[in-house]
């Protein structure tokens, strides 16, 4: 695809959120929880793990009247529900189980399945945060008369000199989760509290151990919560009741290389599990849902510099009046690289990296940073 910048002078782009809009000149990390005595009750999003439990512990120690809530999202939730209820019992706070299985299927699983079947690689954690954890759960917290929603995310909320809320990286860069939180709105940021934002994982586990919490050493899951074994293709077939439609591998010149198991079984940049004997290590470089072909090529064919994103959310301002210089992450583990970002429409941004990046993937989230501050993000198209 021929992608051209919409600006001609990248060096003239503004640098940093201080030039994006009025009111982002001076960042202050004042915590409204400490300053406002009226913010005294909270619903805590419990997962059964150590992070949400310590978040509830710290909030309780701040004098906040907490109640824990576990979202039942899918059939794999039973053990987590039991752990969450036990944690709330140890903390001496009320516990709720909220059945959101229907909403989760509609708002998270269905888009996930649809994206894979269309050759995109989605991030269901972003959808879950947007629609459920900071959507339906905030609604429930308000319904229960709570002043705040508290979660165990590693991120920080600050305010600028004009009172606008900002999302910032966690103090512990190795645990920072701001990437999956880019869609938070001003209304949501005003209502949430992240007690773990200044802590490391080691400090969180130590706090849990010192408090005698049973989940102090509980292992973290690295899988998508509703696919604990990581078999995406098997899950999609079971969910849809349809076997994956097989297709053909082709090289960059269109030469047929053999049959593949279905486009939902692959993602851009994939190297293993292709089953191809090639004179070079083959990588998936393009997925073509229209004709069911998967294009493979050399590693260097994965490099590109520019892309568009849609479904955008900007946090320090309502829009980008001019191109900005920033660092952009194109997946959770990506380090974030220098780029120029320009707004091309009400709901679209154009990104051009200074240097080519590997495997820019449709469907993944792209998140824009100015130092520690999240400027915003969207979905790569």
Indicate the burial class of 277 (C-beta count within 10 angstroms; 0-12, 13-18, 19 or more).
Answer: exposed
For residue 270, give the H/E element and its range: none
pLDDT at 32 (0 to 100) = 58
Other beta carbons less than 10 A from residue 311's beta carbon: 14
If we measure between CA atoms, which residue out of 60, 68, 101, 220 comes closest to residue 154?
Answer: 220
Distance from CA of residue 267 to its chain's centroid? 18
Angle at 116 between CA 299 and CA 285, to 5 degrees: 15
pTM for the predicted model, two decimal places: 0.89
> 318: closest CA among 87, 204, 162, 93?
162
- In CATH terms, 39-152+195-210 corresponds, of 3.90.1150.10, 1.20.120.160, 3.40.50.2300, 3.40.50.620, to 3.40.50.620
pLDDT for 334 = 95
Annotation says 66 is catalytic: no
Q: Is 128 a catalytic residue?
A: yes
pLDDT value of position 246? 93
The predicted pLDDT at position 28 comes to: 31
Query: What is the structure's pLDDT at 35?
Result: 55
21, 88, 128, 265: the active-site residue = 128
Three-class secondary structure of residue 330 per DSSP: coil
Instruction: Specify the pLDDT at position 37.
Output: 55
Please give the pLDDT value at position 229: 82
Phi, psi (5° rounding) for residue 251?
Answer: -90, -175
Question: Token pair for residue 307?
Answer: 């892309």
Pick the CATH number of 303-380 from 1.10.10.10, 2.40.110.10, 3.40.800.10, 2.40.30.10: 2.40.30.10
Identify the architecture of domain 244-301 in CATH.
Roll (2.30)
What lies within 8 Å, CB to CB, of 71 at 6+ separation is 45, 77, 98, 100, 104, 132, 133, 137
- Per-residue pLDDT in tens (0 to 9) along the chain, 381 residues: 333 333 333 334 445 554 554 344 333 333 555 556 566 899 999 999 999 999 999 999 999 999 999 999 998 888 899 999 999 999 999 999 999 999 999 999 999 999 999 999 999 999 999 999 999 999 999 999 999 999 999 999 999 999 999 999 999 999 999 999 999 999 999 999 999 999 999 999 999 999 999 999 988 877 788 998 888 989 999 999 998 899 999 999 999 999 999 999 999 999 999 999 999 999 999 999 999 999 999 999 999 999 999 999 999 999 999 999 999 999 999 999 999 999 999 999 999 999 999 999 999 999 999 999 999 999 999
> What is the residue extent of each domain of the chain?
39-152+195-210, 244-301, 303-380
- Decide: 324 and 21 in contact? Cβ < 8 Å: no
């Amino acid at each position: 695809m021929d992608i051209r910048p919409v600006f001609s002078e990248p060096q003239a782009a503004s640098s940093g959120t201080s030039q994006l809009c009025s009111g982002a000149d001076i960042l202050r990390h004042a915590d409204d929880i400490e300053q406002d005595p009226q913010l005294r009750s909270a619903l805590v999003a419990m997962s059964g793990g150590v992070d949400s439990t310590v978040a509830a512990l710290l909030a309780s120690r701040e004098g906040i009247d907490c109640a824990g809530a576990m979202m039942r999202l899918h059939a794999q939730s039973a053990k987590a529900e039991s752990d969450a209820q036990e944690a709330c019992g140890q903390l001496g706070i009320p516990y709720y189980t909220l059945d959101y299985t229907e909403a989760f299927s509609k708002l998270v699983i269905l888009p996930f399945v649809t994206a894979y079947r269309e050759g995109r690689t989605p991030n269901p954690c972003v959808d879950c945060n947007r629609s459920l954890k900071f959507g339906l759960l905030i609604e429930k917290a308000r319904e229960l008369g709570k002043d705040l929603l508290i979660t165990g995310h590693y991120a920080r909320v600050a305010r600028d000199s004009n009172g606008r809320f900002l999302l910032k990286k966690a103090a512990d860069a190795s645990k920072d989760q701001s990437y999956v939180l880019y869609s938070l709105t001003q209304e949501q940021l005003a209502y949430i509290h992240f007690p773990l934002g200044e802590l490391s994982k080691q400090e969180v586990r130590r706090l849990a151990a010192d408090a005698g919490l049973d989940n102090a050493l509980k292992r973290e899951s690295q899988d998508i919560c509703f696919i604990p074994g990581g078999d995406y293709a098997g899950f999609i077939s079971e969910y849809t009741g349809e076997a994956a439609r097989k297709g053909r591998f082709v090289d960059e010149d269109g030469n047929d290389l053999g049959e593949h198991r279905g486009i939902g079984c692959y993602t851009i940049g994939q190297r293993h599990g292709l089953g191809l004997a090639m004179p070079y290590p083959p990588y998936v470089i393009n997925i073509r849902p229209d004709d069911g072909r998967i294009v493979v090529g050399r590693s260097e064919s994965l490099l590109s510099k520019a892309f568009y994103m849609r479904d955008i959310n900007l946090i320090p301002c309502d829009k980008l009046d001019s191109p900005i210089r920033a660092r952009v992450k194109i997946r959770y583990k990506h380090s974030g690289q220098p780029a120029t970002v320009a707004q091309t429409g009400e709901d679209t941004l154009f990104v051009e990296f200074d240097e080519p990046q590997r495997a820019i993937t449709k469907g993944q989230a792209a998140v824009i940073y100015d130092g520690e501050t999240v400027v915003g993000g969207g979905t790569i198209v």
